[in-house]
Amino acid sequence: MEAEIFSERTDLAELNRAVEQIRESLGRIIVGQKNTVDFLIAGLLADGHVLLEGVPGVAKTLSAKLVARSIDASFSRIQFTPDLMPSDVLGTSVFDPRSSSFEYRKGPVFGNIILVDEINRAPAKTQSALFEVMEERQVTVDGHTYLMEEPFMVLATQNPIEQEGTYRLPEAQLDRFLFKIEVKYPTFEEEILMLQNQHQQNLSAEISEVKAVLSTEQIKACRKLVKALHVEPKLVEYVVKITQETRNNKALYLGASPRASLALINSAKAIAGIQGRDFVTPEDIIKVSVPVLAHRIMLTPDKEMEGLTAADIVMQIIQKIEVPR
């Protein structure tokens, strides 16, 4: 038993070193955004998809691309536009006159890390093309099912401000994202440092120097390790109390689903693993509560009129429920 514990902690230490390498390489290019990078890594380890939301110019796409470069896996980018069709994402069957049969040509969604840029630019018909592949890790075309290679992760970006030429994401699609991360403006000091770095360094050269520090096999091993981390029964009850409260809260008319409970547990495990711990603490659950829950709940109209946000309600719920010790 002692040998197993020692082995597990050694593996966690290796994971921690890889995480630090990713943070260091990205930190040379992206100033601030530490939480964004940590949640992107946690999403990868928890086998979840991540939605980055923020105004243009806050390095949403760059952050996603750099994290993808840090992993030795296939990367694909899809720019969502209003005229994009589902076949442009999933692929299509093409007639081959030599064999007198149809041949399936795979679309850009086939890969390990998929960046969907400005996901709310495409209409519901195209967005629905991601439903099956995000949840079941497979694509069904013309009666044939094609399994995705592991790891598979969708990183999507969207702009919350612009309304012209955008389409609201369906609740069913939002629920498939493990995290929704709000990428905010840098602080005064961070923006000064960013300008100094840009002035003194060649950004293209810096980006090209970002090297892969995790292979696909290492990611698979790390995912198994993270999944096996210890969670006390009282913490499981704590998670259920939080999600149950979202369903009974008078400020909400749509609460979190059981998928949200699973997401809280899995993402808390990933955060614990990143920090080198083989057990989950209440603080891990609290840390992931807003990015996991805020996009899965909907406020009543009167609370929206008061200027409250989904994140505000999540924090009220966290403060209301007693933290287990």
User: For residue 6, what pLDDT is reported?
Assistant: 37
Encode pLDDT of 179-213 as tens digits. 999 988 888 888 888 787 776 666 666 677 777 88
Q: Is the pLDDT of residue 301 over 80?
A: yes
Bond before 86 cis per omega within 30 degrees: no
Q: Is the pLDDT of residue 218 over 60?
A: yes
Alpha carbons 114 and 108: distance in angstroms, whole number: 8
Using DSSP, state whether 49 is helix, strand or coil.
Answer: strand
**For residue 315, what pLDDT is reported?**
95
Q: Nearest-CA neighbor of 237 among 261, 259, 256?
A: 261
Per-residue pLDDT of 42-101, as tens digits, reads 999 899 999 999 888 888 888 888 888 888 888 899 999 999 999 999 988 887 788 777
What's the topology of domain 229-325? Helicase, Ruva Protein; domain 3 (1.10.8)
Query: Would the CA dihedral through 19, 46, 149, 158 be positive or negative?
Result: negative
**Which CATH class, in words, describes the domain spanning 2-228?**
alpha beta
Q: Which pLDDT score, from 0 to 100, does residue 199 have?
A: 64
Q: What is the pLDDT of residues 91-109, one digit of tens each?
A: 888 877 887 778 888 999 9
Average pLDDT rounded to a whole number, residues 296-304: 91
CA 278/CA 12 separation, integer angstroms: 8
Answer with the residue of higher pLDDT: 166 or 258: 258
Quote the pLDDT of residue 50. 94
Take residue 41 and report the two structure tokens written for it: 């890594």
Supply the DSSP string of 141-206, one letter for each residue: ETTEEEEPPSS-EEEEEE-SS--TT--PPPHHHHTTEEEEEE-PPPPHHHHHHHHHHHHHS-HHHH
- Residue 108, classed as helix, strand or coil, is coil
Q: What angle do CA 13, 178, 300 make, to 5 degrees?
A: 140
State yes or no: pLDDT of 10 exceeds 80: no
Q: How many CA atoms lie within 13 A of 66 on its CB side?
A: 28
Average pLDDT, the chain: 86
Query: pLDDT band at 265, cuts 50/70/90?
Result: very high
Alpha helices in the chain (DSSP H): 2-27, 34-45, 60-69, 86-90, 124-127, 131-136, 171-174, 188-200, 203-208, 216-227, 233-248, 258-274, 282-293, 301-305, 310-320
Q: Check residue 103 and give its pLDDT.
A: 84
Beta bridge partners of 187: none
The CA distance from 222 to 227, in Å, is: 8
| Domain spans in the chain, listed from the N-terminal domain onward | 2-228, 229-325
